[in-house]
Amino acid sequence: MPVAVYVLGLSVFALGTSEFMLSGLLQPIARDMDVSIPTAGLLISAFAIGMVVGAPLLAAATLRLPRRTTLIALLAAFGLGQVAGAVAPSYGVLFASRVVSAFACAGFWAVGAAVAVSLVPETARARAMAVMLGGLSVANVVGVPAGAFLGQHAGWRAAFWAVAALSALGLVGVAGLVPRTEAPTGADRPRLRAELTIYRDRQVWLALITTALSGGAVFCLFSYLAPLLTDVAGMDEDWVPSVLALFGVGALVGTAIGGRIADAHLFGTLYGGITASTVVLTALALTAHHAVAAVSLALLLGVTAFFTGPALNARMFNVANAAPTLAGATTTSAFNIGNTLGPWLGGLVIDLGWGYPAVAWTGAALAAAAVGTTALAARLPQARGASRVVVGSEVLEEEPHGEGRRDGVDRRDGLRRTG
């Protein structure tokens, strides 16, 4: 695996830490800014919505720019967003800094994913994405608990300063180790109108929906895992960070395993991982009152959920091969649609008085729906012969199940190396 892919993974560690660390900082932020906990919680929603909107917008805006230059600019903007958050004098400024950071984070994910898959053979795409997702998993294992620790002992602003420093480290790595590229010209020059044709393909929409449902299933439960552990399983609050870290360990293991096998068995990975998540969420709904079962299933959920991550990313790049940047942007938006939809549905069933176990049932229903869309995607190419991927004015045939033949032509990115 090229070292540049690992540098991108390090940068994602900083991005992921910033995205998720606020779950452990809401109380000190609320006290310092003199706002309620729900109002402070809007900072999390603002980041997720910024990711949904920012990914396609920035992907389109930077389509013809050199990739490395774009990554450097986005990391710099993200780092400045963290600094602005660290020195924010009011809630409004902090909110704005989260939106700016989310846009930069979304753009980096979209462009970084395109760069990662362009640096490896098509048969190693899932492994490359596993490295990037591994940065997100490590953020959950190390970054989020560390951010909470800093918030408790040095103030919540210290956590923002730490992420800013990580962003600077990632920027240095990208500048020094990601290959320099020129903006494509002539026939190779990407055209937004041509790239937008990927959205005519039903397989792209099925991949988007599957990703959103899969992510929503997990974060529907994860967002309310802490109160489920304390109010239903009867655990002490002091154990919650350890269980959350355990979920992160499971996510890291799942990403590593999924990344190794998804390239060879893409649909098998999707079926296996999403079905396993459905089973785990159902079991958690049935056994949530037992602490040992709840903790064990939280670990397993981390494994099963992130086991599918590399395959979900690789699938999108396979069906939208003609538009790698928009493919990365679409995947980013899809994951964050799930991250927004899942917690909202979880909160809805809680408000209805159905209790925290109902959140697990809701997650299981979303996961089951994702199994259904995966099955539909697997059958659709066979029903209409072969899926079509538009590249410029050409149509390339893709074999059923997305294990497409590319006629010996590599059209992944159109980037030209200059160093």
Q: Cα dihedral angle (275, 131, 76, 172), rounded to 10 degrees?
A: 170
Q: Are 113 and 313 in contact (CB under 8 A)?
A: yes
State pLDDT tens for residues 381-400. 543 333 333 333 233 334 44
Residues pairing with 387 in the sheet: 398
Q: What is the pLDDT of residue 325?
A: 64
Phi/psi of residue 395, nearest 5 degrees = -120, 120
pLDDT 10s digits, 111-156: 887 778 777 776 776 777 777 777 776 776 777 777 777 777 788 8
Q: Which domains does the chain have, with CATH numbers?
A: 1-184 (1.20.1250.20), 191-405 (1.20.1250.20)
- 3-state class (DSSP) for residue 54: helix
Looking at residue 368, what is its pLDDT? Answer: 94
Q: Which residues contact 195 (CB under 8 A, 6 or more apart)?
A: 63, 322, 323, 325, 326
Cβ distance 98 to 47 under 8 Å?
yes
Residue numbers in the chain where pLDDT is lower than 70: 23-24, 26, 37-38, 41, 63-64, 122, 125, 137, 140, 181-195, 320-325, 327-328, 381-419
Q: Which two tokens stand for residue 318?
A: 């396979």
Query: Rounded to whole angstroms, how far apart are CA atoms 361 and 194?
Result: 41
Question: What value does the CA radius of gyration of the chain take, rounded to a whole number of Å?
Answer: 21
Helices marked H in 21-143: 26-33, 37-61, 67-86, 91-118, 125-138
CA distance 109 to 380: 29
Produce one character per residue of 264-283: b if its CB has 16 or more CB atoms within 10 Å, e if not: eebbebbbbbbbbbbbbbbb
